[in-house]
Amino acid sequence: MSDVRKIDKSMWEQVSKDSNGLEVISRPSMTYWQDVWRRLKKNYTAIAGMIIIILLVLAAVIGPMVSSVSYSDQNLNFANLPPKLALYELEGDDYLYVHKEYRVYLVKGNGLVEEKLVETKDDVMNRSRMYNVDGKEIILDYSFAIKNKDVKDGKKFELLVDGKEAQVAKTVRNKNYFFGSDTHGRDLLVRVLIGARISLMIALVATVVNFFIGVLYGGVSGYMGGKVDNAMMRFVDIINTIPMMLYIILLMVVLPPGLGTIMLALGLTYWVRMARIVRGQVLSLKEQEFVLAARTLGASTWRIMLRHLIPNAMGPIIISLTMSIPSAIFTEAFLSFVGLGVPAPLASWGTLANDALNGLRSYPYQLLYPSLAICITMLAFNFLGDGLRDALDPRLRK
């Protein structure tokens, strides 16, 4: 006889059915774009890039408006002033600053440059200059520049106040020109902000051209297919084979050089890559069941493209738009750098970099700030583009 183990029924408890618990939603339902924003917020570099772009836009729009000087205002007496000033104490809150070109300025202790001193005597033979400020005799002896030309870190000049050699008392920020001034005495900060305006205008033009020309052209080509697609793509190949620099040069034959010419050149050529991307997306989407259902219901060709195909390809479109903006900004900066950009006195990051080359060894800050602006802007857009690429990828959705 088999041994049958008896189980005590008190050891078991019947599980109750909670009908209300079955209806509880673990988390609210999210749309595709809500999920994109949720994932984008987790990408800190993309959010940092977005914040930098927003701050850049605000600075470019508001900065020149609140500035007391214009980007074209010149003051040759204040030319090539650096952003930081090494001050020599004079009396009270009055200090002296000696420029690299051996000009002497009267500066307040907070960094406000009041005036360029006019020498009472200029001894060119002995390489010295004499000034008089409120009865104090000031002598600038810059003959040491010749004596110590072969000495590394040798003294270049000597500043005497009433016969006593003055020493550097402190270093302060230039209150007149926060980024310094250029060779014409123009405010470099205002000119960098004006360059930001131009770069953002170029970015806007590139975005509009890509969206309205590239998307529609690529959508029509991909949806129509056959001979129409072949003819449209061959036209794209012809445009793409001609360098943009040649377009700019040819346009300058009939148009004056400037921002409008660059915008026109971008408008003629910049939509080509977007058209190819959209064409590829439409070719893969037009064979889907929802497109067949729309055709069966009698939807027109334009309705299918504008309401079904292009919205479903919006992810790659947005990524391509974001990635194309830094390329457009760099293109404009390069064209301005080689002299094919905006005319003087209008400022662009490329023209600012070009103007700074002549005095690079003496005034490196004139090249630093526009170059830094280009780098930060391009990195910000690239970070945002990388974040959007990850956030818009449906395969990464969780």
The full 3-state SS of 125-194, as one line of letters, equals CCCEEEEEECCEEEEEECCHHHHCCCCCCCCCCEEEECCEECCEEEEEECCCCCCCECCCCCEHHHHHHH
pLDDT for res 203: 81
The CA distance from 357 to 366, in Å, is 9
Find all residues with CB under 8 Å of 182, minimum gap 6, and list them: 79, 80, 188, 191, 352, 355, 356, 366
pLDDT tens column, 216-264: 888 888 888 888 888 888 888 888 888 777 777 777 777 777 777 778 8
The tokens for 241 are 């084979």
Show me where the domains of the chain are located.
84-173, 188-396
The tokens for 31 are 């749309």
The CA distance from 199 to 346, in Å, is 13
The CA distance from 233 to 272, in Å, is 9
- Strand-pair category, 104-108 with 94-98: antiparallel
| Residue numbers of the chain with a pLDDT score lower than 50 | 1
Nearest to 87 by CA among 66, 59, 68, 106: 106
The highest-level CATH class for domain 188-396 is mainly alpha
pLDDT tens column, 123-172: 788 888 888 888 888 888 888 777 766 667 677 888 888 888 888 888 99
The 8-class DSSP code of residue 13 comes to -
pLDDT for res 394: 60
